[in-house]
Structure 1
Amino acid sequence: MNERAKCSAILVGDEIGQLKRIEWQTKQSSVISLIDDGPLHPSKSIVSINQLRDSISDQYFLVARKDHEIFVYNSANGEVWPIKYINKNKSHLVGARCVDDQNIVIGFQDGLIQRINVENDLCYARYKPNSKAVNMLGINNSDNFTPSNESPRKRRRIEKNNLTKNSRTANEISNERQNIMTLQNPNWNVSNTYLTCFEVSGTKLAIGGFNCDLKVFDLHNGQSIFNAKSNNVDWLGIRHNIWLSGLEWIDSDSADPHLIATCSRSQPFVLIYDIKQNYRKPAMTINLKSLNEESKVLSFTKLCSLSSLSHYGQSSSSMIVGTTLGRMIAIDLRFKGSTSKILGSFKGFNGGSIRDIKYVQESQLAHKIFSCSMDRFVRIHTMTKTTRTLNTKIYVKTRPTCLYPIKTYGDMNNCLKKSSGNDSSNDDDDDDDENDQKIDNCVGY
């Protein structure tokens, strides 16, 4: 692999609706203006930051807020533009995920999952007919004209039917032009059941929530692929609540991922399912109950699956899980059968609940782990096969909810070609020194 990823900055979203960009080396932060819609408030909390999948560059990011606002941020020039879409849902937005360079998936708290074509959405604005405004202005279309000899009661009934018909036609046309597809609309009562997390990998969508166990759907046709069997009944037959707090596809970069891990706020287990098997129970159960020194049961908040360090492109070999007590635990998955190994915990935490975990693989020897927690710190660790070292921690004034590292790449081959072509007339020793210097400048180490 000739390209090496390096983090240049970190995007951090907070609980009052601010998006901040933190330069990693200088630790300088700047607030990115999303939209001028009044004062900051927890109802405008940023719920997710994800990278748009683009074959050309990795500079576009998808930012979603709790109040149904979705933005695209360009990390190269700092531009921000909103995504306007049809929305009649009144529950909170849980997040937005990217499917490809044209489609995104959004999820609401009441379980509604929709797929939206972003390319059509950015170029199309929808205006809903307002019957009250039409009546006040006295506007009558030729198609909706009614004879004056009709009774007022009958005329009002005809006008109401015409307006309803026209409104339904406008909705159908707008849905067709925007290519909006509803994958799930259970209309849950959010006081008993609600969506908390969902993840997209390839053509598959996995969801989970409070009293909603793992479900997997096909993004093309919306059909259900897999439903996990709930094990929320104890030996006395008493049913307990399920509270999935994190989902993570293992080896998500493969063409057909089939392993998915879940963590829960109500159980001290990390469960790994194989959706290819006709078996609804987890293929692997990782029990972390023994790690807690207190009487309180471990409660997990986030999962992060890491790629293998031995060679680029191999399947995931380790995983990181965050807890509500401010701990991050590394787990090794390179064991046959249904066993795993706990590598240990990360250092430098003060007890704040972990909100988000991301990683960047900079070399074949180490990962850079980025995390944010409720104690208002963004921490950066270096994780190798044997160590988990804290590099730095950055204080932010507001509580962070999510983050995403901005990556830059350096191509070793391109640097070698450019340097050899420009310095072909120099001596061999001078060429070697200059080439080494240019390679270091290109990679950025």
Structure 2
Amino acid sequence: MYSVDTKGPAIALMLAALCFLGTWPAIMNLVERRGRHLVHTYLDYSITNFLAALLFAFTLGQIGSSTPEQPNFITQLHQDNGPSVAFALAGGMVLFMGNLACQYAWPFVGLCVTEVVSASITVVAGTTMNYFLDNRINRAEVLFPGVGCFLIAVWLGAWLHKSNSADNLAKMQTHSKIGPDGRSDPESLVKTPSGDFAKQRALEDLLPEEPIKVLPGSGAYLEQLEEQRALKAKGASTIFGLAIVVFAGICFSLFSPAFNVATNDQWHLLKPGVPHLVVYTAFFWFSVSAFIGAVSVNVFFMYHPILGLKRTSLKAWFNDGEGRKWAFLAGFLCGLGNGLQFMGGQAAGYAAADAVQALPLVSTFWGILVFKEYYRSSRKTYILLVAMLVMFAAAVGILAGSAGKRQTS
């Protein structure tokens, strides 16, 4: 099997994982904003997410000769490693639960805040556990200041959400006072090159059947978005949305330590002479658990929907091809990101690998560029957004700098 044994390649794997893990939530959020049923999207995502684990197992997990200390993937499937497999299965299940919770949280608190708060909780709790599980191979004087940066980001993220919510409420109230069609709201109409709104309104009167174009971030834009998306969150409690995010963060803080124990057997649960699970075997069982959980829960949600979603069926999911390619892409990117994170963590320490939890840096980029989040917001909101991103940039650099080298003997 192929293995990474030095810090340089391990850090490169972590940075690649950061890009993949920061992009897939943006793609899933895009599909939800276009109105596709959340259950249909998650089932499609789960298929390619599992296929990514199979790709790792049958390629990198089978490269080279199999040794007693590091057997190839197929060889290890027949070994007596039940306790380690159980931890891998548990890690996959809590990751699935966290990802599912995030999917339902995005409409309530936005992509950026969901990723910031959940990732920060993950680092504060999960990195601490990984540090001790890895026998302190990461430099504590570097690692824990990085954890502190993530903790500060939690508060900045919550403050940012509060400020942006107030901005959005003010925009929507102004828009509703002027009129639901937005024709009399110059803040909602797309400007002509000359800035002459009268000409634009006259043209709209001649062609009333054409949809009104609105500016991103305006009250009309927010109303339009709310009408299109699959899960309606207008008027929902902020506390409820943040509670979902906190639950996701708790789940995320457990999956990496569980995978760590699965591959390194720190509690000596395996029988003497049985080799530790290699990364690819552990990732396979990890993904089996996530896939089974995803299919079971989402099929249940088909016939017993929550949060006001429509009832659906397996037949409706099979026939719903709208947005399927994007859901497939999201699942595959997430699987690639997880696999690369685990490869880097096995080489340089899983605490350092938690640098990938700075994925809000990437998600926020997509949120602003594609979804127009924080457009036309207040100065206070912009200051908080910049502060939050700076704190994440500092955290990822510090955590990567704490990378150690695992002893393989």
Give the TM interval when normalised to the shorter protein: under 0.3
Specify which structure has the higher proportion of strand: 1
Q: Could you say which structure has the larger radius of gyration?
A: 1
Query: Would you tell me which structure has more helix in proportion to its own residues?
Result: 2
TM-score, length of structure 1 as denominator length: 0.18
TM-score (norm 2): 0.19
The higher relative CO (CA closer than 8 Å, separation ≥ 6) is in: 2
